[in-house]
């Protein structure tokens, strides 16, 4: 059976299905300097293996390096239409291609998987999103003449999928009066749900 928060989140996504921006959430990681770091990403679905949130990212990005060092992550996700907020706390597994792994993954949370397993993700992305994985190194200063050699049918060596697996979820419904707040905690292989004061 799927996690109770997942059923709720699936409903929120359904209510906002006409709004593409409802798939954006903020992903916070721990910077190499120990400071929090935060950015917007796109929700790419739930993982089949566990109740995780999937995100695609570039292995050259800061967040990738940060997650290799420390898999801890927080997500905050607000649905403007239904006026609901979700907060997630957990760990992130990094899925990268076994062949193109040049990043020396050592953390046990990270998973080097086969190209065959990663290819369906790649193929499901729009041409525009795939071409971003052939852009010059993210975060570096722009230089004049970087060649852009994009064959978007070929899986980029910089492509990775993040699987954010929460152990704590909080839900807040601003519409309800009084506001409804719930906490879901993963303990002893079960989700424990509590209503808490808003």
Ligand X SMILES: Cc1cc2nc3c(=O)[nH]c(=O)nc-3n(C[C@H](O)[C@H](O)[C@H](O)COP(=O)(O)O)c2cc1C
Binding site for ligand X (CB under 6 A): 24, 37, 39-42, 55-58, 61-63, 138-139
Give the nearest distance from C-beta 191 to ligand X in angstroms: 26
Residue in this structure with the two tokens 């993954």, named with its chain if needed: 105
Nearest CB to ligand X, comparing residues 44 and 89:
44
Contacts of 168 (CB under 8 A, 6+ apart): 88, 89, 90, 183, 184, 185, 186
Nearest CB to ligand X, comparing residues 12 and 66:
66
Do 54 and 47 form a contact (C-beta atoms < 8 A)?
yes
CA 143, chain centre distance (Å): 29
Residue in this structure with the two tokens 């706390």, named with its chain if needed: 89
Residue 56: which H helix or E strand, with range? strand 53-58
Give the nearest distance from C-beta 5 to ligand X in angstroms: 21
Q: Residue 80: is it exposed, middle or buried by C-beta count within 10 angstroms (0-12/13-18/19+)? A: exposed
Give the nearest distance from C-beta 31 to ligand X in angstroms: 9
Give the nearest distance from C-beta 113 to ligand X in angstroms: 18
């Amino acid at each position: 059976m799927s996690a109770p928060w997942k059923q709720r989140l699936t409903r929120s996504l359904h209510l906002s299905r006409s709004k593409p921006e409802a798939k954006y959430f903020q992903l916070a990681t721990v910077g190499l300097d120990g400071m929090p770091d935060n950015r917007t990403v796109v929700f790419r679905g739930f993982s089949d293996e566990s109740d995780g949130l999937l995100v695609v990212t570039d292995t050259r990005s800061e967040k990738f390096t940060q997650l290799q060092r420390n898999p801890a992550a927080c997500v905050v996700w607000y649905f403007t239409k239904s006026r609901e907020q979700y907060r997630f706390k957990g760990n992130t597994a990094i899925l990268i291609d076994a062949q193109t792994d040049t990043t020396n993954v050592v953390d046990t949370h990270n998973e080097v998987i086969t190209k065959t397993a990663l290819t369906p993700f790649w193929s499901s992305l729009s041409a525009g999103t795939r071409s971003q994985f052939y852009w010059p190194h993210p975060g570096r200063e722009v230089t004049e003449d970087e060649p852009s050699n994009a064959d978007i049918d070929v899986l980029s060596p910089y492509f990775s999928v993040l699987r954010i697996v929460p152990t704590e979820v909080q839900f807040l419904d601003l519409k309800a009066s009084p506001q409804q707040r719930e906490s879901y905690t993963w303990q002893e292989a079960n989700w424990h749900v509590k209503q808490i004061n808003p």
